[in-house]
């Protein structure tokens, strides 16, 4: 197997004998400067068909969380009799990692559609609860029950994406581009469009546009938390208000406090990685 790009000391992008690209995990396989050949015996795990944007997440996610995410997805495949794209392993791991950070910072966000998920997606919700028990067992971290719904949403969205039910980036690229420009102009930065952080942000905006398109009205119980974040990050809040007005002009749809809260969190996360501070 040929290593063509090293991600870190233990992860590399490789080509197999049929010239198919894959992400390989193995102790020390990323030490040398590529390209070079390695023995397949040193490779512990391989993932085919990984979006390049998600590969960048690897350096930011502890290996034990990636392995845990893979275990959750394998469990979901068995329970749902469904084969997921391997990309969901990385996006779910990224979510779990961020959820653990929020939990340690005592930043608990409620999801207003918890009851809907429990009753409409019973099997996926059960997988979310299984994931929480696995996280507690393996990482000794007890996440709030609401995270079962967040995790089940990753499963639901992955199913929908494979079925072609979620709008692709191409259809929304103009809107996403305009929103990105609003952020760049507000903070006087240039956002790396090829990075994992931007990929996360784009995914959130795609889901937001999907909810707007289906007229899903979300009521929030997070007004107090929203006001705290609004006062703590006034520039980000102003930016979110500008995005909200832009979307209102397009769709005549007002963002809820819940959506504004999420946008503040996502923009803060995006800007912090772009060296933008308030």
Q: What is the pLDDT along the chain (278 residues), one digit of tens a residue?
A: 899 988 888 889 999 988 999 999 998 898 888 899 988 889 988 988 887 777 777 878 888 999 999 999 999 999 998 888 888 899 899 889 989 988 888 776 666 566 667 777 889 999 999 999 999 999 999 998 888 988 988 888 776 555 444 444 445 778 888 899 999 999 999 888 877 778 778 877 877 887 787 776 666 567 788 888 899 999 999 999 999 999 998 888 888 888 898 899 889 888 875 545 44
Q: Kindly list the strands in the beta sheet with 21-25, ordered across the sheet, starting from the edge strand earlier in the chain.
A: 36-37, 2-8, 11-15, 21-25, 45-48
Identify the bridge partners of residue 132 per DSSP, sorted by sequence position: none
Residues 127, 92: contact at Cβ < 8 Å? no
Helices 146-162 + 87-104 axis angle, to 10: 160
pTM across the whole model? 0.60
What are the φ/ψ torsions at residue 37 (nearest 5 degrees)? -95, 145
């Amino acid at each position: 197997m040929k290593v063509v790009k090293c991600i870190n000391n233990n992860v590399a992008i490789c080509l197999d004998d049929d010239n198919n690209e894959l992400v390989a995990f193995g102790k020390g396989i990323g030490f040398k400067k590529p390209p070079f050949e390695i023995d397949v015996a040193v490779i512990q795990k391989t993932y085919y068909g990984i979006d390049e944007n998600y590969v960048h997440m690897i350096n930011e996610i502890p290996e034990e969380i990636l392995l845990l995410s893979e275990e959750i997805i394998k469990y979901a495949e068995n329970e749902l009799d469904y084969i997921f794209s391997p990309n969901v392993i990385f996006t779910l791991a990224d979510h779990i990692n961020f959820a653990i950070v929020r939990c340690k910072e005592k930043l608990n966000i409620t999801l207003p559609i918890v009851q809907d998920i429990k009753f409409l997606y019973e099997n996926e919700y059960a997988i979310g609860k299984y994931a929480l028990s696995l996280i507690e067992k393996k990482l000794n971290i007890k996440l709030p029950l609401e995270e079962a719904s967040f995790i089940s949403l990753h499963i639901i969205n992955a199913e929908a994406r494979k079925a072609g039910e979620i709008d692709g980036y191409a259809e929304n690229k103009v809107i996403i581009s305009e929103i990105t420009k609003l952020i760049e102009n507000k903070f006087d930065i240039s956002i790396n469009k090829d990075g994992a952080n931007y990929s996360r942000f784009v995914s959130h905006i795609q889901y937001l546009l999907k909810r707007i398109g289906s007229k899903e009205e979300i009521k929030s119980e997070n007004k107090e938390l929203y006001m705290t974040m609004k006062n703590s990050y006034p520039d980000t809040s102003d930016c979110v208000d500008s995005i909200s007005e832009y979307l209102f002009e397009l769709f005549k749809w007002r963002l809820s406090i819940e959506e504004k809260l999420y946008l503040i969190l996502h923009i803060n996360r995006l800007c912090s990685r772009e060296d933008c501070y308030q």
